[in-house]
Structure 1
Amino acid sequence: MHFNTLLLSAGAISMASAATTPQYLTLGTLNSNTPSGIKTPAYSTISFPITDSKTKATTTCTIQWDWTKTPSSASWTPCKDNSFSIKVSNYKTITDFSLELQHQYNTKTGKKCVNPNGTGCTTTLASTVISKSAVGFETYCGASGACGAVGKKGVKVAVSSSKTGTQK
Structure 2
Amino acid sequence: MNKAFTKESDGDEDDDELSLPDLPASSQGKNYITPAGEARLREELMSLIDHERPKVVDIVHWAASNGDRSENGDYLYGKKRLREIDRRIRFLTKRLEMAVIADPRVHHGNDRIFFGATVRYVDEAGVEREITIMGIDEADSAKGEVSWVSPIARTLLGAREGDVMTLLTPSGPQEIEVLSVSYPA
Q: Which protein has the larger Cα radius of gyration, Structure 1 or Structure 2?
A: 2
Give me the TM-score of the superposition, normalised by structure 2. Answer: 0.22
Would you tell me which structure has more helix in proportion to its own residues? 2
